[in-house]
Every structure is written in structure tokens, then in C-alpha cells.
Chains A and B, each alone.
Chain A
Amino acid sequence: MSETIKSVKEYISKEGAKQAFKRAENVIKTKPECENAIITYSNPDFSKVTNESGKLYGIPIVISDNISTKDIETTCASNILKGYIPPYKGDAEQKLEAEGAVILGKGNINEFLIPNAPSFIGDVKNPYDDKYTAGPAGGCAVSVLAGSVPVSVASDAYGAVRLSASYTGITGFRPTYGAISRYGLIYNSGSTDQVSILANKVSDCATVANVLGGHDKRDTMSLLDPLDFEKGVSKARKKIYDSDLLEGIKIGIPENFIEGADFEIVKNFEKAIKIFESLGAVCETCWFEAAEFSNEIHEIITAGEASAMLAKYDGTRFGQRIDSDNWHEMVAKTRTLFGKSVQDEIIFGTNLLRSKQIQKYYMKALKLRTDLVEEINSLFKTYDFLISPTTIKIPAVSKDLENWFLTDKSITSINLAGLPAISVPFKKYNGIPTGIQIAGNLKKDSDVLKTAYIFEKKSKGEN
């Protein structure tokens, strides 16, 4: 499969890895829609790019700036981490390099990926309408869209990858929690974040997921048995998939995922349902009760976790420091280098964990999360997949990003349960691309990808 990667490989075989890199760099540095896309460019040593038989030999790749890369500045798009040069390689970097890929640079994201926190170098504008944002992982998405790189590796905290994919008309795949190692992923929310992939085509996502996947003993959440993203489909379904159809596949459409959506979005989505049905799938609406409060529990849990995970930025061992003659004061001042929205997030999370509040909000959210997971389990007893628009909202207005917040149950419920989900581009709304989300049960990643692939093929030309 891997259509885009294949075409890039073709010219790499002629021009060589270094030329391909220059071509990628040239695209991103000259195309106007790529403004702010990259925070730091790498300076690769091509004498070390030797694995010509590697699955990704010579392929330039953008890695999001919240993933640790050795000797390449990694800032999480925050002033507080300016100048931080990781002394170690994250797992993603290691695995990509082992297959011959070349890191082009660090993709721009929201500050620490927080939904309403603009990057310290400025937001990445949406190439279809620069009034709007390209999404929380905008730099990663735009570098793919512009054709600079065939894939970008980012992470899907707060739905960053799926939202950015949806907003820019590319594909964003979030694997099952633990299917790709988090070693080197600078997460705020350890229980919902997951290394994910942005690409032009579903097949490219699968290829790169196979490179990144597998057990990593450095991540305690890493699945013990690796998933095969390309060929791991359920045996019972293989034959159907092989005929590029979805005959007999049962698809649930949680009504409440679509609640509040604009008429246009619903209309587009109905067309998508028609395509699934034309492929032989049985589509049925359903009610996902627990998703009614998934946005709230997601907001509580991610903020609580973030308040702890962001505590390490104290100006003591790395990163920026604002001097003071007292350590506590030094830390409090240094932490004003977080942008306003990140500060709010930390204070919000800190307050939720205070002994006066914790039972009322945080612990309750953890119990409601159990309800949610159990309901999902029962939904997947009936359905193979859940589909919905990836998001029911248009992107945030770029200059007004600080007032935006995440309200997609289709994003939050999936992240809380750690399910695999993909956003496939389908049509536009007000000139801005929209995506269709296909979510599957835990470890059914290959089925999700295959179904997305079949949908992608069938819906060709309808973007």
C-alpha cells in the first residue's frame, strides 16, 4: 500500500536521500501556507542514512515538537522549554531512523498541545482560509498537505491529530492506547495521549504505524503483543475487505456525537453514510449515554494529569529559568513563561486535585470513565465501528484561539477509552475541509485502517 510514501521513494531512488531532503525543505520554506509550520529544522548527517533497504529509506518526516529528538531543540511550542536540547532519543525517532527516515524538523503545535494554547512562534493558519487555525498539530498537518513530507508523527492528546487532519483535509490516525511507545512523548495527559500519524493516505498511516509499533519495555503501557497495522485484520473479515467491500459490517452512529452539528455538516455526513451503505455496511444510529458527559470528564482528567506532568518545568535542571534569590520564587516566576492558556490549565487542574475538590470532580470523573468504558464495550458487541464527523465545529478563529474549547464527544470519548480512530477527509464546509471519523474497538487498528482505506477509495473525488 503506502501510496504517497511509494511515490516519494521513486524519486529518492533517482535523486538520493539528500536531494529529497532539500526538496522537502524547499517546499516548506517557500510555500506561504507553511508559515510557522516548523519550529526547529534538523541538520541531518546523511553519512548515517545508510539503510537503503529500510521501509522509509530517505523519506523526510516531520516530528511534532512534543516528541523528544536527540540534539534537536524540543520546545513543545513553549517559551519555558526554549533552548532545551534533549540528550536522548525518543522511541519514534529511533524507529524512524532505523528504517532510514530523515527528520526534516519539529512540527509546530499548540503549546503543550493544549486546545486553546497558541504556539509561542504563532499559530499555523489554515491553508484553506487563513482566518482559521490549521489545528493543534497544525505544523505537522500543513507540512504533509503542502507535499513537503509524506507523513508526520505527532500525538493525539485532546484529539490534536484527528482535528488537524480534519481541518486540513488529510488523514489522521490514532492507534490503540499503548500500540506505539510513548517513550519520548512529552505528554500532559498520560492516560489519553498517544503517538499518532498524519499522512495523505490511509495506507501511509498504516505503513508508518507498523514502523512505530511494537512492544517497548521503556513504556509500561506498551502492548506486549505488537499489532500488525497493515495485515492484522480480523480473520472473519479478511475476505470481505479483500474485495474492497464492507459487506455485512455493522456500523453504529452515536446520535449524540452529532448533536449540535450544523446542517451542512450533517448533510455531508449523511453522504458518507450512503457510501458506507453502498459498500455493503449496515449503518444504524445508536445512543451512547456515557458520551453525554465525556467532554466534562475528559476536561477534568486531562487537566488534573497535566497539572502534575507540567510540574517538572521548574527551571532547575533544564529549560528556561527566571532568576530570583529564592528557589520557590524562581520557580513561580519561571512558570510565567508558560502561555496564559497553559497557566490556566495548570491552575484549573491543580484546583481540581485539591483535597477539598478531588472527590467532587476528579475521582467522580474516574468513576464516570468506568461507565463510559463499559458502555463502549457493550456498543462494540453490537457494532464493528462507530462513525461520525470527526468534529462538528469549524476550526477556531486563529487570533481567537485562546477562547476555543474542545466539545467533540467523538474526540473525548474515544481518547478516554484509548480506542483506535482515524479521520479521513470527506468534503468541505464553508470552504474548509471536514473529516469522517471511524473508530474501532481496542486493538482493532488494522480493521479501522482497512475500512478507512476502502472508504477513502470509494469516496475519491468527493473531497
Chain B
Amino acid sequence: MFDESYVKESAESAHIYINEEKLGEYTERLNERMKRIEKVLDIEPKTNKTTINPSDRSTVLREDVKETGLTHEEAMKNAPDEYEGAFRVPKII
């Protein structure tokens, strides 16, 4: 069972703001979810080989050839805020 501080850490890591008074609900839901998957704790895989994707071939590479991207206007079209052609953001630290 995870406690609220664990859930808070996870939410901070995921950059999702949770109101203190809602933390209990989030914790409850996460623990329910963990219960749903706890079955895997008791199973031993037959193999050590992981499958990260249904494709079992070697990654297909791209030829190193330039392609047309977006115009500057297109790139900035959805920008919530802009400063001299770049995406403006508030202070980071």
C-alpha cells in the first residue's frame, strides 16, 4: 500500500498538481489500481528476454537526407506565448 507522500512524489515527478485535500482520493485510486496488477508479482517469466514491441526486427534506419520541416509561422502557430520567435516561458528555478 502506497501512502500519500509516495503518491505526492509520483505526482510531482509527473508534474501533475494535486490539491492537498484530494491527495487521499488519488492515493486510494492508485492503490486499487496496484491491487489489480498485483497478480504479476506471483508469476515468474519463463525468459529473461524482454519484448518492448511487437516488431522483432532490427530498427529500421532513416537515410541522412534533409526534409522540409515547418515554416516558422507554422511552428509558432500554437504557441501559448512567444518572444522574438521563440517560446516564452516563465522562470524555471
Contacts and interface: CB of A to CB of B under 8 A. Distances in A.
Contacts of B55: 177-178, 221, 418
Interface in B1-16: 2, 6-7, 10-16
Contact of B87 (A296, A307, A317, A367): A317
A293 B39 CA distance: 8
Interface of A: 83-85, 87-88, 177-178, 190-191, 217, 220-222, 224, 293, 296-297, 299-300, 307, 311, 314-321, 323-333, 335-336, 338, 343-344, 346-348, 350-351, 354, 360-361, 363-374, 405, 416-419, 442
Given A319-B78, A326-B90, A177 B10 contact: no
A418 B77 CA distance: 36
Contacts of B15: 311, 314, 328, 331-332, 335
B30 A351 contact: yes
Give the top 4 A-B pairs by smallest Cβ distance, nearest first.
A418-B54, A318-B78, A367-B45, A366-B50
Secondary structure type dominating chain A contacts: helix
A177 B2 CA distance: 36
Nearest to B26: A347
Nearest to B75: A87
A365 B90 contact: no
A347 B7 contact: yes
Contacts of A177: 53-55
A84 B15 CA distance: 21
B39 to A, nearest CB: 5
21 contacts: A83-B78, A85-B78, A220-B60, A221-B53, A296-B37, A296-B39, A296-B40, A319-B80, A320-B80, A326-B91, A333-B17, A335-B14, A336-B16, A343-B26, A354-B10, A354-B13, A365-B40, A370-B49, A373-B51, A374-B46, A419-B54
Contact of A366 (B6, B51, B91): B51
Q: Is the interface of B mostly helix, strand, loop or mixed?
A: loop
Contact of B37 (A299, A321, A332, A333): A299
Interface in B47-88: 47-55, 59-60, 62, 70, 74-75, 77-81, 87
Nearest to B29: A344
Given A315-B80, A344-B29, A368-B45, A335 B52 contact: no
Nearest to A314: B15
A260 to B, nearest CB: 15
Contact of A343 (B13, B16, B54): B16
A208 B7 CA distance: 45
A368 B59 contact: no
Contacts of B74: 87-88
A96 to B, nearest CB: 21
A370 B87 contact: no
A317 B78 contact: yes
A360 to B, nearest CB: 7
Given A344-B33, A348-B30, A417-B54, A325 B91 contact: yes
A360 B6 CA distance: 17
Contact of B89 (A293, A316, A363): A316
A316 B45 contact: no
B54 A350 contact: no
B8 to A, nearest CB: 10
A369 B92 contact: no
Nearest to A373: B51
Contacts of B29: 344
A338 B16 contact: yes
Nearest to B91: A326
